[in-house]
Chains A and B, each alone.
Chain A
Amino acid sequence: MLGLLETGSGFWSAIIWIVLVLVIGSIVIYIRNKGEDSYKKNTEQDKPFISGNPEESKESSHLSANHIYWGFTEALKGYYNPLVKMHTGNINDYSSWIIMLTVIILIVIGVSG
């Protein structure tokens, strides 16, 4: 069949996948369309709940890239600090890495025989 990729332990077919997604998606949409009885459009229910605080203007509510995954990087500080420090941007370090790696690989290949 066209689009059937053998992977050694199974197969992958994008077309079958799309058909499945369409079938499951239509079921989900059908269930969702049955809807919640107590929901009413254009009432208080539509508005975001922010504990009674005044809503911010749209322009100032954009989350800039610096703040995304702040927790992730904060938690992995011990991993990130040395790693970022390693990328010095110094051309001497660039060449040192290459020379060091070459020496290491020469030793490994030489020892392994």
Chain B
Amino acid sequence: MNLSNHIPILIIAIPLLAAFLVPLIGRINKKATGILTTLALSVSLIFTIALAVKILTVGPQVYVFGATSPSLTLPSGLKFPIRIMLQIDAMSIFMGLITAVISFFGAIYSLSFIKKYDGVDKYYSLLLLLTVGMFGMEFTGDIFNFFVFLEIASIASVALISFRGVDYGEPAEAGFKYMMVSSISALMVLFAVGIFYGQYDLLNFAAIASMIKYSQLDKIALGLLIPVLAMKAGAVPMHMWTPDAYSEAPAPITMILVAASQASLYALFRIVFSLYNISLNALTVGWIIIIFGLLSMFIGVTMAIVQKDIKRLMAYHAVSQTGYMLLGVGVGLAVLANPVALQKYGITAMEGGIFHIMNHAMYKGLLFLTAGALFFRTGTRDLNKMGGLAHYMKYTTIFFIIGAAAIAGLPPFNGFASKLLIYESVYRFNPLLSIIAMVVSILTLASFVKVFHSAFLGPKLPQFKEVKEVPRSMVFAMAVLSCIIIFFGLFPDLIVKNLVHPAVMSLIEQLQYTGTVLGGM
């Protein structure tokens, strides 16, 4: 048995096994559950890194379930890709790395954060299932399997959002709203799957992509898939669930939910680029995505300025930052049919958008963790009630400054690098878009100045006399994320050249995606 061949499935299967073992272990020892979770996710993280090295040096990987060949030869000699498979190229592994890193640090942060609640074993089990769902959405090469993993991720995240719902009403309300929108979206995805199956008798991404004609039915499927996946990513005007869900979930879960919404974003890009690619009307669909991006950026940030709840404010920023990714990739899509413009600025715009996904996961994760640290010690999320916390929580203050500077796009942090790529390339597409993006960046800085002032600055308040620094595991998780942010900020070229550029190229070149499956048949 050669282990290295099985790495793609082990990344998914080990957290899955751990998710089922955690409640069993929890009967014997409650403390062991957290350690088992962390262990499983660390194995997953190591395997993801190993797989990333393999993919970036050797090429895309295909892993078939239950048989050696992805296709079945009928007695008539016809070959058919019927098996469920994982298909992992540079873009998938890029998202996989984000998922692995974020869920690992989410688990570490949870070790102390979640201690005081009941049902810790169920919490860890659901966290692992959420991770499995995200990995599955990113790695799968089968469109129905994608739907299954989407539902696994959304069911697990709903249960985690309403985790505190036994004691408070608001988390249950947020969970209900998220469940409603995500089940609508999942059913629309299923309908689109039905349309594809009815037309092509196929469920394999690559096989559908090689046959797609952009017929009337394909247009309907695209029209169903774009809005629901954009909704799951939190695009305006379907973003209303985002602040509710993000603010009520426990802080480490909020961080993982950001990565989960990005998995939907990945699915949107995968469908538009790898499934349809040049066959669709690139300008129209590109502009649809650009308009989603613009609305998300502007409405997200202006709504954030008036918020009083710290996590709600950050959630609106998550909406706003998603707009940057949609803008960057949308510009790339709009010029997809025009090779000259694509070479000149389209690829750079997409690099900016894709790089921003990773940066956003890191700094928004860090910011949510600092908000969680404040909640952990003060017991409130209301900015009006906070003040002077920098006196008591020095490390958290430093991490918050790093995160806020990164999200506002201040040099030399990582947010600046990806935003610069977006500004400069989008300016050559349409100057107005670039100017709006810069204004949004300034407003982002303004609203984080507000948070910093009202939560951390000011005199020592009498009600927070007992407040002290958060436990060590929480500080550790925040410190490592800060180090990643600073590293990305100092050496953005390493990431762009080695991870982002291959990811963009694997999106643009459809043949590379379909060839890995159909070439081996």
Contact = CB atoms under 8 A, between A and B. Distances in A.
Interface of A: 2-10, 12, 14-15, 17-18, 58-59, 61-66, 68-69, 72-73, 76, 79-80, 83-84, 86-87, 89, 91, 93-95, 97-98, 101-102, 105-106, 108-110, 112-113
28 contacts: A3-B490, A8-B345, A8-B348, A8-B424, A9-B428, A10-B424, A14-B490, A61-B458, A61-B459, A62-B461, A63-B453, A64-B385, A65-B386, A65-B451, A68-B453, A68-B454, A80-B306, A91-B177, A97-B238, A98-B185, A102-B223, A105-B223, A106-B219, A106-B224, A108-B284, A108-B288, A109-B219, A109-B222
Given A63-B454, A68-B454, A98 B303 contact: no
B240 A93 contact: yes
Q: Which of A2, A14, A87 has the most CB of B within 10 A?
A: A14
A23 to B, nearest CB: 15
B302 interface: yes
Contacts of A4: 493
B348 A7 contact: yes
Contact of B458 (A62, A86, A98): A62
Contacts of A91: 176-177, 180
Nearest to B382: A65
Interface of B: 176-177, 180-181, 184-185, 188, 216, 219-220, 222-224, 226-228, 231, 237-238, 240-241, 244, 281, 284-285, 288, 299, 302-303, 305-306, 308, 344-345, 348, 383-388, 411-412, 416-417, 420-421, 424-425, 427-428, 446, 450-451, 453-454, 458-462, 489-494, 496
A101 B345 CA distance: 30
A102 B188 contact: yes
A68 B450 contact: yes
A59 B387 CA distance: 10
Given A2-B494, A8-B421, A110-B219, 4 more contacts: A4-B493, A63-B454, A94-B181, A101-B231
A29 B467 CA distance: 36
A101 B227 contact: yes
Contacts of B231: 98, 101
B384 A112 contact: no
Contacts of B188: 102
A7 B420 contact: yes
Contacts of B228: 98, 102
A97 B240 CA distance: 9
B462 A5 contact: no
Contacts of A10: 424
Contact of B412 (A17, A76, A86, A113): A17
A64 B461 contact: no
Nearest to A86: B237
Contacts of A64: 383-385, 387, 454
B242 to A, nearest CB: 11
Q: Which 7 A-B pairs have the closest CB atoms?
A: A65-B383, A14-B412, A106-B223, A58-B459, A65-B454, A62-B458, A112-B284
Contacts of B344: 8
A89 B453 CA distance: 28
A108 B453 CA distance: 45
Contacts of B461: 59, 62
A17 B188 CA distance: 48
A38 to B, nearest CB: 30
A113 B450 CA distance: 47
A86 B238 CA distance: 11
A21 to B, nearest CB: 8
B212 to A, nearest CB: 14
A97 B235 CA distance: 11
Contacts of A98: 181, 184-185, 227-228, 231, 238
A63 B303 contact: no
Given A69-B446, A89-B244, A5 B492 contact: yes
A69 B180 contact: no
A113 B453 contact: no
A110 B281 CA distance: 10
A7 to B, nearest CB: 5
A5 B417 CA distance: 8
A94 B239 CA distance: 9
B264 to A, nearest CB: 13
A113 B427 CA distance: 28
A84 B306 contact: yes
B343 to A, nearest CB: 10
Given A5-B417, A91-B176, A112 B281 contact: yes
A47 to B, nearest CB: 17
Contacts of B185: 98
Q: Which of B223, B244, B411, B460 has the most CB of A within 10 A?
A: B223
B220 A106 contact: yes
Nearest to A9: B424
